[in-house]
Structure 1
Amino acid sequence: MPEPERILRMRTVLQRTGLSRSTIYRKMKDGTFPSQVVISMHGRGWHESAVNRWIIDPTHYLENSAAITPFAQGQS
C-alpha cells in the first residue's frame, strides 16, 4: 500500500527549501512555487510531492505545468 500524501507546514517548507517566508509567498504569486492547500479554518500547508518537485528543479518549476509529463507536452 502506498504511503499517503503528507501535508507540510510552513516551518518544514522553510527548512527544506532554504527560502524565506516572503520569498515563498512571492514565488507562489508568480506561479514558480507550489500553492498551499487548506487543511483547516486557519491552517494551510503544501503537498509534500509538490515541494519535492520544486526542490528537484526550482528554476524550471511552473505551478500550471507541474503535472504535465514531457511525453504529453510533445503531443498535439
Structure 2
Amino acid sequence: MPNKPAPALPSHKAIIARNGGPASLGRKINVDPNTVKGWNRLDSIPAPHWHALAEANAATLDELAAAAARRIAA
C-alpha cells in the first residue's frame, strides 16, 4: 500500500477564512473583528489566542503552530 502524503496544514489566513472570515471568527472567540482583520492581513494569529481557537474548534494547536513555524521560516 503506497504512503499517502500528509495533508497540507493551513496558514493562519486560511484558518480565518475557513471559519467564515474575521467577523465570524471574532465572534467565535470573543475578539474584535478588526483585530482579526489585522491577523488576516499579517497572516499571523498571536499565540495567546491559540487556546481560544482550539476550544472553539476553529483550529487545532498543531495547525496553528505549524502555520506559525512556516511563516517564521519563510
Q: TM-score, normalised by structure 2?
A: 0.34
- 1 or 2, which has the higher helix percentage? 2
Larger Rg: 1
Q: TM-score, normalised by structure 1?
A: 0.34
